[in-house]
Amino acid sequence: MRIHHECVACAINQCQKIVEMSLQGEKERKKAMLFSLKRAAELFSEESIPAVVGGLLFLGLYKFIGNDDPFKEYKRVSNEVARSLLPEFEGADLRTALKLAIAGNVVDFSTGYTPERLEKDIRGVLSQELLIDHSENLFSLLEKGGKLLYLTDNCGEIYFDLLFIKTLLREFPGVEVFVEAKEGPIINDATVEDLLEAGFDEVGTVVSTGSRLPGTPLEYSSPEFRKLFRSVDVVIAKGQANFETLSGLGDGRVFFLLKAKCPAIAREIGVPIGSLLCLNLSLR
């Protein structure tokens, strides 16, 4: 997926958030925003993939401000809150577990919600229908066994991914699972370290993309990861950045699990903003 017109302002607004999280002095903040503007102008073109240029922009900004992980505390709290909610949903059936994995992408685990409020929001997502639902095709494929590559997105959310993968393995014990995360910190994306801390190594093989960019841009991934990607039978790709970086492949093995949160993604897929999707582009 190439950038849409909203991606420009969205990237700059995200830079401002990062700058405000990381720097206190107005003079330093101003310098960092001017850096962001000039770097964005260099990076963005009509053919850009939003997650790639956004990621390169943020990594440059991290370096400029001397903070390699501005979202560290945000991610820690997200993981903690999500982990504490899991027992509420233990024993979910396959369909509920799939929707929980999407719900995990929707709610913000770190905004000082009470656990009660958060649980209510998650149940709200569970009560919504998927607007595009190719999950039966996904499950039919998994029935045959083979290798599943699961591409994670954010911290917090990963605990619901773990529940979903456990449920998948209960239903389809013949499946061998590989779970991907980022090589290092980028915004609130899960890293390999986050996955290991959450215990993903008990359900499958934890792998790194070999890159810190959001999503799964194969041209920036390690040769090992690319080899693994080519070898698997089914891919579950969570969240917007994975859609942005993989939608152009035309790869029928990929099922995108996401909420279309922003106008660019919604327009690209041709659905209303807010739609919940389990989408295989080859099945449309």
Residues lying near its own copies in the complex (CB under 8 A): 3-9, 12-13, 15-16, 19-20, 26, 29-34, 36-38, 40-42, 44-46, 267
Nearer to its own copies, 40 or 278 (CB): 40
The CA-atom distances, in angstroms, between 223 and each of 96, 151, 192, 218, 219 are 35, 17, 17, 9, 9
Which H or E element spans position 95? Answer: helix 94-106
What is the closest distance, in whole angstroms, from the C-beta atom of residue 243 to its own copies in the complex? 17
Shortest CB 188 distance to its own copies, Å? 20
Tokens of 28: 């330093």
Report yes or no: 158 and 194 within 8 Å, Cβ to Cβ: yes
CB of 263 to its own copies, least distance (A): 10
Q: How far is the CB of 18 from its own copies (least distance, A)?
A: 11
Return the number of the residue (12 or 203) whose C-beta is nearest its own copies: 12
Nearest residue (CB) to its own copies, 19 versus 192:
19
Q: By the 8 A CB rule, do 216 and 242 touch? A: yes
Q: Are 266 and 272 in contact (CB under 8 A)?
A: yes
Give me the residue label for tokens 């029928």. Answer: 252
Nearer Cβ to its own copies, position 4 or 83?
4
